[in-house]
Amino acid sequence: MAAQIAVFLVDTVFTFFVFLLLARFHFQWLRAPFHNPAGQFVLVSTSWLVMPVRRIVPGLAGLDLASLLLAWLAQAASLALQVAIMGGEPRPGAILAVAAVDLVRYSLYLLVFAVLVQAVMSWFQTYSPFAPALAALTRPFLRPLQRFIPPLGGFDLTPLVLLVLIQVILIVLGHVRTLAASVG
């Protein structure tokens, strides 16, 4: 029981931080504005670690590689700790591979969250300080779908189609994660 609690706590703390680092990476990659409460929270809670690493790991073509590297290492550390707590022997290759797959999965979860929040906000509130950031995060994924799926009766169904596509990708990634865990 104590091991389960420890695994839960390690997973919760590390996953929260990994999501913050991924959010920072995606905000910068997709040019989402940080001038909103969520963006400011992400900056304040991750800058203490990202800024020193940026001196060593520079960005590349607008990608914040320091944030991405830190997210990957944090997820790998989380997985290694969880395996160690459960009495297993961490295999570095498997842990690094699973951590990489987890970053893709978590990125898709961030996109799902952004699409859902944006859709709900569009029903109730026309403008919010979060609206520009959500639009920047979702636009690159919704725009291609909007070319092929016209609005029906004034309703844009592309967020629903995107969520279905993401779910299919997540199913595939679940199998890839299992394979990566067993091979490494």
Instruction: State yes or no: pLDDT of 167 exceeds 90.
Output: yes
pLDDT > 90 in the chain, percent: 73
Distances 9 to 15, 19, 92, 95, 126 between C-alpha atoms, Å: 10, 15, 22, 19, 38
Q: What is the pLDDT of residues 86-124, one digit of tens each?
A: 998 889 999 999 999 999 999 999 999 999 999 888 777
What's at 113, amino acid-wise? F
Neighbours of 69 (CB within 10 A): 16
DSSP state of 157: -
Q: What is the pLDDT of residues 48-81, one digit of tens each?
A: 999 999 999 988 888 899 999 999 999 999 999 9
Instruction: State yes or no: pLDDT of 158 exceeds 70.
Output: yes
- Collapse the DSSP code of 60 into the 3-class scheme (helix H, G, I; strand E, B; otherwise coil) and give the result: strand
* Spatial CA neighbour of 36 closest among 136, 126, 128: 128
Domain that holds residue 23: 2-183
- Collapse the DSSP code of 129 into the 3-class scheme (helix H, G, I; strand E, B; otherwise coil) and give the result: coil
Q: Mean pLDDT across the chain, nearest whole number?
A: 93
Average pLDDT over residues 8-26: 97
The count of domains in the chain is: 1
